[in-house]
Chain A
């Protein structure tokens, strides 16, 4: 029996059609996610990672449009799905955690009401009383006092609000949870707790997780496989261990070098020179070439294809020839 992947994305492309021009936010993105697997999406702002997360839910905001590609969730091609069927997937089969906990809850709605509304939208048979009970249980698992079910979002701290968000995302036992920078707006200690909470819940319910972050260290710690995004394209795609041990793309190398290591007392912090490209007018050829220490003539002219430098290690860079050997 061939194990069918939970999520299958093939050649995804997303454009933002702004008044001043078209931004190719995502181009040629393909990958698969197995049940229970964790995938990390790493990259700077504007790399397209958030857009990728939203595309999986078909929630790319105006003026974004999915211009190409097929997304399959549990064998269902969601691209042509009618809106009401898509809605039954959102929140139930796929959960989403937003970045800023301060603005992702409805300020005029009690948090209990958030849960009740969610549960009763997807399971209309459930009575309000029952839904409320379930909400209280979820809150307990999140480490929040169930009596606070009648409180409003502004009465909670940032960390607690993010817990509530997580609770809402997993409330209906989805197969996949997408967490978009879940800890960026929180302080470091709270970050750890939130990520641990996410991990334990994930294990209990057997959910797959896509963790989106610009913080590579978090992703390396907690993800089975990692995609490094740059300027809307996949730069590198491999397991976490492999990425740490032997990164292939110059961008990944740069990212790893810029992570501060507490054990190296005289480490020089390096940053990747230059800045991310203007997405309205990206450079010709490989989008990374202006910042690449290994840039070659061909890099400026053609976009490198995504090739398997090794089995299970894809990279988009002309440094790697047909057989995967690195050109020096």
Chain B
């Protein structure tokens, strides 16, 4: 019973926090709209398998490359599969891949950043140098290089993308740590004999969290787009699971048949997903760093 109460109060606080966003002007609205879009897409993908009118993977449920109609509101593709069904469930792989890559990035980038910048000295300088080199490199090229070597698959895709974005986390954590490290209250804690891990976890980390959240959302958006790019090149998942990028790629191959519906709907979904995360990220970044206060 206690747990139910705790959850309820947490939810209530969450709703209150989100609600308070409406009062914070256009930036707050950006975050809200972003959250709505992302949640809608996640829910759609989650319940998708139960609401699809046809089996998304089943071929020939309808005529090949049929334009949108009442029967098939989003038309059918070159295998006669129903596009609506495929669009409803097509976000699954992209969401998995991006979520996994963000998680990996976070788990590697943040501790690395915290530790390296707090320690300072040669270790920090050398790690930073390596990280900066990776950061300056075109993301997709790195992802391609890694994916080419690792091969296809959800986990491999996630890892390839993760490599690209670890530097972002590292850098933002590092810049924050460097400024907090010199603040008086950290010095005071050190003088009082606090161990380094205490200082990092209790003093530094909580202050770094807001920036990390912003980076994570932008990271998510980029991961979605990079995953789409990888699939387009042929380094994505190759077995026939309904996937927006996969449909987009196939639709392109048959472009000459003028079947615009095969590419439009999956494409729009990808845009929405990336847009949703971008809105959250941009909105939050504006809220946290109000530059234009009058």
Contact = CB atoms under 8 A, between A and B. Distances in A.
Whether A and B touch (Cβ < 8 Å) is answered with yes
Interface string A268-297: 000000000000000000000000000000
A19 interface: yes
Contacts of A76: none
Contacts of B294: 16, 18-19, 63
B25 interface: yes
A183 to B, nearest CB: 26
Contacts of A19: 25, 294
Contact size range, B: under 10
Interface string B1-37: 0000000000000000000000001000000000000
B13 to A, nearest CB: 25
Interface residues of A, number: 4
A278 to B, nearest CB: 15
A260 to B, nearest CB: 32
Interface of A: 16, 18-19, 63
A212 B294 CA distance: 22
A63 B292 CA distance: 12
Interface in B189-232: none
5 contacts: A16-B294, A18-B294, A19-B25, A19-B294, A63-B294
Contacts of B25: 19
Interface string B168-203: 000000000000000000000000000000000000
Interface of B: 25, 294
Nearest to A18: B294
Contacts of A16: 294
A63 B294 CA distance: 9
Contacts of A18: 294
B227 to A, nearest CB: 39
A16 B294 CA distance: 10
The 5 closest A-B pairs by CB, nearest first: A18-B294, A19-B25, A63-B294, A16-B294, A19-B294
Nearest to A16: B294
Nearest to B294: A18
B11 to A, nearest CB: 30
A299 B203 CA distance: 50
A131 B235 CA distance: 65
A158 B294 CA distance: 27
A63 B293 CA distance: 12
A19 B28 CA distance: 14
Nearest to A62: B294
Contacts of A63: 294
Nearest to B26: A19
B193 to A, nearest CB: 40
B139 to A, nearest CB: 33
Nearest to A63: B294
Nearest to B25: A19
A279 to B, nearest CB: 12
A21 to B, nearest CB: 12
Nearest to A19: B25
A61 B78 CA distance: 60
A18 B294 CA distance: 8
A18 B25 CA distance: 12
A13 to B, nearest CB: 19
A155 to B, nearest CB: 29
B172 to A, nearest CB: 29
B286 to A, nearest CB: 13
